[in-house]
Amino acid sequence: MKKTARAHTNIALIKYWGKADQALKTPLMSSLSMTLDAFYTDTTFEHDSSLTEDTFILNDQKQSVEDSKRVFNYIHLLQEKFGVNDHFTIRSTNHVPTSAGLASSASAFAALATSFVASYGLDLSKKELSRLARLGSGSATRSVYGGFVEWKKGFDDESSYAAPIDENPDLDLSLLAIEVNTKQKKISSTKGMQLAQTSPFYQPWLARNEEEIAEIKQAIQNNDFTRIGELSELSANEMHACNLTAKEPFTYFEPETIKIIKLVEDLRKNGIECYYTIDAGPNVKILCTLRNRKDIISAVQKTLTNVKIVVASFGPGVTLL
């Protein structure tokens, strides 16, 4: 059987940055994201008793066994869970207008889990699908849904999954993905979040998690762009502060990252409201309203020459094609 699924990536406004269990990818904190319309992955999963090997084709290129390891291990784990074991072919295409530095593991594992489940005709709820996506990559847990999504940390494999807050928010919110640097990140998220836990600021940050989640949910309910922006920027800065103060300090920031941070601060001083968030890489995402979008884009273009900017807004949850 062969099935194709499409999943959009998401950007965490309240960050996930630490695991309670490495294998189960259960998190130490709850997180909250917005699913994006501009970036998605289409994945076809085919299993057939006549196939003689497992194959992973990414963006039309057959991947080496080494490069397929994470994906193969994930499928073997799911096959074991559901008591099936035939060979398979995975064909995955990332639709990202430019490589704007948006993590594709979220959309990749959400699309893979969904196409796997559909190809075996398994009848799973979205909650169960979210749990399965989590086993591939933590952030994929949230890409099962559209709009604003909360990943409740839970306390074990059963209780850690995402739930939608509002799949079609009526909020004027745009995200500008600014590609400042295309170099491959040196420290993976998996490794980075382990190092960050050695920071003296990590536990105090964790202790604030519930409060931050409750506050942003309230802000979403109030359609309060300012508060959503402030809390998102705070969460990103808390994460990056932990990286900088880890026992082995590190940062994902590049000089261009700082330039954009300063630009956002200057724009705000001049009455152009916008906020930034940054993940496990040097690229910056700016949150803004439609009214200021054009001005912000031209200010970014003046600050960094030849910079790539992708405009995104709310995207949908995972679907079968």
Which residues are near ligand DP6 by CB under 6 A?
Answer: 12, 15-17, 25, 31, 103, 105, 137-139, 189-190, 279-280
Task: Kindly tell me which of 10 and 115 has the beta carbon lying closer to ligand DP6.
Answer: 10
Task: Kindly tell me which of 103 and 299 has the beta carbon lying closer to ligand DP6.
Answer: 103
Q: How many CA atoms lie within 13 A of 66 on its CB side?
A: 0
- 125 in helix, strand or coil? coil
Please name the residue that has the structure tokens 């008591």: 83
For 55-108, the DSSP string reads EEEETTEEPPHHHHHHHHHHHHHHHHHHT----EEEEEEEE-SS--S--SHHHH
Task: Kindly tell me which of 29 and 117 has the beta carbon lying closer to ligand DP6.
Answer: 29
**Residue with smallest beta-carbon separation from ligand DP6:** 138
* 4, 115 contact by CB (below 8 A): yes
Q: Which parts of the chain fold into alpha helices (H)? A: 65-82, 105-119, 126-136, 189-196, 202-207, 209-221, 225-244, 255-269, 290-303
**How near is the Cβ of 107 to ligand DP6 at its closest, in Å?**
11
**How near is the Cβ of 303 to ligand DP6 at its closest, in Å?**
24
Task: Kindly tell me which of 189 and 299 has the beta carbon lying closer to ligand DP6.
Answer: 189
- Structural tokens at position 96: 């990202």
**How near is the Cβ of 25 to ligand DP6 at its closest, in Å?**
5
**How near is the Cβ of 238 to ligand DP6 at its closest, in Å?**
12
Task: Kindly tell me which of 25 and 47 has the beta carbon lying closer to ligand DP6.
Answer: 25
**How near is the Cβ of 301 to ligand DP6 at its closest, in Å?**
26
